[in-house]
Amino acid sequence: MTTPTYSFAGRTVNRLGYGAMQLAGPGVFGPPKDRDEALAVLRAARDAGVNHIDTSDFYGPHITNQLIREALHPYPSDLLIVTKVGAVRG
C-alpha cells in the first residue's frame, strides 16, 4: 500500500496520521487506564511509519502531550506533531 504524502515546512509528511485523543482517560480526561499500553501504541505507530501525530492540550488535559514526549523523545527529525489550543472545559 502506498501512503499518500504532502509537503509541509520543507518535509514530507504522511497524510495518514495518528490522533492521540484516545490516549487520555475516560471522557478524554485524566491519565490512560494503562500508561504502558498508551506508550506502546505511540511507539508502534511510529515504527509503522506514522510521522504525523495530532494532539491537543485539551486531552487529559496535557496528558497526551506528556505521553508523546515520554514515548518518542528525542523526536525523530521527520516527526510532525500537530496540536490545538484554546479549548475550554465547562
The predicted-structure confidence for 32-89, as pLDDT tens digits, reads as follows: 999 999 999 999 999 998 999 999 988 888 899 999 999 999 998 889 999 887 766 6
Q: What pLDDT is attached to residue 43?
A: 97
pLDDT at position 87 is 66
Amino acid 89: pLDDT: 66
Q: What is d(CA 1, CA 90) in angstroms, rounded to the nearest whole number? A: 43
Where exactly are the structural domains of the chain? 5-82
Q: Specify the pTM.
A: 0.84
Task: Please enumerate in sequence order all residues whose Cβ is within 8 A of that of 39, keeping only pairs 6 or more positions apart, or say none.
Answer: 67, 70, 71
Q: Which of 28, 6, 3 is nearest to 16 (CA)?
A: 3
The yes-or-no answer on residue 59 being catalytic is: yes
In this prediction, residue 59 carries a pLDDT of 87
